[in-house]
Amino acid sequence: MTVSRPCDTGPVLRADAVAIVRDGRHLLRDVSLTVNRGEHWALLGANGAGKSTLLGLLGAVTHPTRGLVQVLGRTLGRVDVRELRSYLGHVNPRHAPDGPLTVREVVLTGLTNTAAFVPRWTPSPEEAERADRLVAMLGMAARSGASWATLSQGERGRALIARALMPQPRLLLLDEPATGLDLAAREQLLSSIDALRAEHPTLATVLVTHHLEELPASTTHAMLLRDGRCLASGPVGDVLTTDLVSACFDHPVLIVRGDDGRWSARAGRAPAALPR
């Protein structure tokens, strides 16, 4: 099976009533999601809710036990997923380069999808220019020649986003990108994500987190997962409400969105009963 270059029409992602069952246990149950061009989704829920499991489906890493998953118009189970994944940008904050690479070299490995810089391989002038442009856009121009070992966790996170963008994907998947970051590094990362989304208006993104404070202001849609089920899904303003988020985390919280478009959560009243 081969994958032709995906076209620019139709949903970027579509999951229809998907389930994943492992050892008789449902990790996901009847979850449906459609992501269109230019949409920026957040997947939220407590630990074990199924966020990373769903992201694995959307990134063509795993297959559903039941249901349909289409990525860039291609149906999982009927396509070479290794080639399909070459059209996706997947940011894993635990990525570890192989060898003493510089920031620029790590970014360029996004073209070869390798952990090491490929011997005797040279990027084209256009590819080299794109790497430099992405490094600058993510605020890393001054660190382009720095060794990976000398970078802070926040700098590594921004470099990995640049790396994921090298193949010019239509879809960027971010798996808890702010994990382990201090306050300043988190804010720099989120500002970079907002700038990236403004620079590439047709790019679709899906970001996994369980902290509302880690959501960029440019988030457009959200899905709340609880115990492998979708509790709510849709435009972010309709989903990130006090009652729905309280029910998702099984704890009363008050959700506030500031004038800057960012969210915060703090202890609040008990949520109203949700319709069944």
Give the pLDDT of residue 8.
59
pLDDT at 219 over 80: yes
Give the pLDDT of residue 276.
55
Of 36, 28, 38, 33, which is closest to residue 72 (Cα–Cα)? 36
Per-residue CA distances from 60 to 64, 81, 238 (Å): 10, 6, 28
162 in Cβ contact with 184 (< 8 Å) = no
In terms of pLDDT, which residue wins out, 217 or 62?
A: 217
Q: Three-class SS of residue 31? A: strand
pLDDT at 127 over 60: yes
Give the pLDDT of residue 275.
55
Mean pLDDT over 256-266 rounds to 93
Mean pLDDT over 158-182 rounds to 90
pTM, full prediction? 0.87
Give the pLDDT of residue 3.
46
> What letters, b where the CB count within 10 A reaches 16 and e where it falls short, cover 231-262?
bbbeebeebbebbbbbbbbeeebebebeeeeb
Q: Would you kindly state where each structural domain of the chain is located, as residue ranges?
A: 1-87+169-276, 96-168
Mean pLDDT over 129-144 rounds to 93
pLDDT digits (tens, 9 = 90+) for 56-65: 999 888 889 9
Q: For the structural domain made of 1-87+169-276, what CATH number should be given?
A: 3.40.50.300
106 confidence band (pLDDT: 50, 70, 90): very high
Mean pLDDT over 187-213 rounds to 92
Mean pLDDT over 203-225 rounds to 95
Cβ partners under 8 Å of residue 126, min gap 6: none
